[in-house]
Amino acid sequence: MRKKLPEWLSSEWFIQCAVFTAAWFLLMPFYRWQIDADGISYISIAARYAAGDFSGAVNGYWGPLLSWLIVPFIKLGANPLIACKIIGLLTGIASLFLVRKLLTLLEVPAAYARTAVYVFMPVALSYFMVVISPDLLVAVLLGFYCCLSVKDDFLSGVRGPALSGALAALGYLAKSFAMPFFLAHFTALALWRGFGKKEHVLRGYIAGMVAFAVIAVPWSGVLSAKYGRLTLNTTGAYNMAVVGPTYIGHPINFEGFFEPRDSAALSVWEEPSLIPVRVWSPLASAELFRHQVHLLVKNSFELLTAYESISAFTPALLAFMLLLFIGYLRGEDKRGIFAVLLFSVALYSAGYLPIVIRARYFYLCYIILFAVGWKLITLGDAWWRDGWKTKTACALFALSFLITPANNLIGNLNSGRAILDAARHIGAQYQLAGKRVASNTRWMDTLYLAYYLRFSYLGEMRKGITQPELNAELDRFHADYFIAWYENPLVPAGWTEITDGRFGFLTIYARQ
């Protein structure tokens, strides 16, 4: 009897990959210039690795995995922005396979599963074409871990738990949030399935934790050596600080100029944890505790908004999973797959509630809900026994998941092209490379100019600053040039305008 090929070698899978890659090629001309502040940091760190500056590349705020993936492209002389989109393509293909895997575990019929994969393609494209981030990468890694964890015999051996630990550790290297999620999730599942009562559960738990440690601990050791204390990451501490009651956002946007970490850094955003911040604790006072409660309430509503933005059917999907979870607790559902998936979504979402909510943080949850939605349609097919009702349900569900990706893709057409053109015009007239430059506003756009023109960006001036204070600050930071965007008329006194009105959107001033 002829042996069946693995799923990832099937002709159907190759066709799906080909269609997705073709869509990527068609879209690339419109997104090849896409750039953002976080992406610049990942690229800058990758450039340090490529140049052999390993001590400078080690960074507690940005996970290293995305930068490591960019390094080979830099070594080959490729445009780093294009490299990020190629990495996104490969991660997107992995996300399609993750969707297929979830649909298989949920026992969604092949015809529905095939349709679902094609529907998810625009969704996956929107996850990496309009932003440079490791969010889809960590979602895929943790998604495959979740696929392993839903099995009843998940902890019965060593191989599955060890693979789970390895996937989660790679997720930690992509984004530090993966560590607390895995430790809480993995431990809870072990307790759930008889930790301490069944020897095989204990053995599987130890195998998973050891595999996680083997990959994660060396990086934590490198960070601890750099910062002189035990350090798993610096992301959480910084993000917790900047949602304190004395902040209205990131300090770079309202507290004035900041010194880049060294001459090779484009801005302080390459390592935000070096920005002096005011640490706070919700347990320090009643007022701070109320502030934390206010954050939890506000973020809960923002989380619901984020979920509803991906599909109008999200509340129904969550309710469906909750009903099946209750059925599992009552012994009506023996498999427990929905219980584990609902727990995964809830735990992952809860981790961000104390700090800040961004829609892209929850790609893992969206993928799980997407797969669950197709399972619900499958059940509806059995109830209705009517072809047109099933097709209508498929169309409505697909449309609900495609609205936001379509808006994101359309809204970001030719993103970054204008700032690249501006950089080319400025670079043709003035040599700003290696200089120290500040601006009066538009922190993000000026950072993009710094990326293309290779100058050190000191940031934008403090909100409410006076002209004498501005001059004093520019002197203190040894600024060579000042970029004045036309939205703000305040410029340093006594500096020389060198652009002579050549540009209709900004003026550049040089120190006399």
Q: Are residues 202 and 219 in the same domain?
A: yes
**What single DSSP character describes residue 4?**
P
Q: Which two tokens stand for residue 306?
A: 């984020």
Domain boundary residue among 232, 264, 293?
Answer: 232
Instruction: Please give the Cα distance from 320 to 362 (Å, whole number).
Output: 19
Q: Are residues 123 and 143 in the same domain?
A: no
Q: Are residues 12 and 56 in the same domain?
A: yes
Q: Is residue 339 part of a domain?
A: no
Q: Are residues 86 and 191 in the same domain?
A: no
Domain boundary residue among 232, 262, 283?
Answer: 232
Instruction: Please give the Cα distance from 168 to 186 (Å, whole number).
Output: 10
**What single DSSP character describes residue 508?**
E
Q: Domain span at residue 15?
A: 1-132
Q: Are residues 13 and 88 in the same domain?
A: yes
Entry pTM = 0.94
Q: Is residue 327 part of a domain?
A: no
Q: Are residues 79 and 117 in the same domain?
A: yes
Q: Which two tokens stand for residue 61?
A: 């705020």
User: Both ends of the chain: CA-CA distance in Å?
Assistant: 84
Q: Are residues 444 and 487 in the same domain?
A: yes
Is 494 buried (19+), middle (13-18) or exposed (0-12) by CB count in 10 A? exposed
Q: Is residue 240 part of a domain?
A: no
Sign of CA dihedral 459, 463, 467, 472: negative
Q: Is residue 485 part of a domain?
A: yes
Q: Are residues 104 and 160 in the same domain?
A: no
What is residue 416's three-state secondary structure?
A: coil
Q: Which amino acid is at 494?
A: G
Q: Are residues 17 and 66 in the same domain?
A: yes
Q: Is residue 328 part of a domain?
A: no
Q: Are residues 111 and 193 in the same domain?
A: no
Q: Is residue 15 part of a domain?
A: yes
Q: Is residue 335 part of a domain?
A: no
Q: Are residues 36 and 139 in the same domain?
A: no
Chain centre to alpha carbon of residue 228: 28
Domain boundary residue among 132, 162, 181?
Answer: 132
Q: Are residues 3 and 96 in the same domain?
A: yes
Q: Which two tokens stand for residue 416?
A: 């970054």
Q: Is residue 314 part of a domain?
A: no
Residue 428 exposure: Cα atoms within 13 Å on the Cβ side: 8
- Kindly give the confidence (pLDDT) of every residue in the chain, 512 residues in length, as a single tens digit, with 9 standing for 90 and above: 455 656 666 788 999 999 999 999 999 999 999 999 999 999 999 999 999 999 999 999 999 999 999 999 999 999 999 999 999 999 999 999 999 999 999 999 998 999 999 999 999 999 999 999 999 999 999 999 999 999 888 888 889 999 999 999 999 999 999 999 999 999 999 988 775 556 678 889 999 999 999 999 999 999 999 999 999 999 999 999 999 998 888 999 999 999 999 989 999 999 999 999 999 999 999 999 999 999 999 999 999 999 999 999 998 899 888 888 887 777 666 668 888 999 999 999 999 999 999 999 999 999 999 999 999 888 776 665 566 777 888 899 999 999 999 999 999 999 999 999 999 999 999 999 999 999 999 999 999 999 999 999 999 999 999 999 999 999 999 999 999 998 888 999 999 999 988 888 899 999 98
Q: Which two tokens stand for residue 32?
A: 């090849």
Q: Considering its fold, how many domains does the chain have in total?
A: 3
Instruction: Please give the Cα distance from 307 to 362 (Å, whole number).
Output: 9
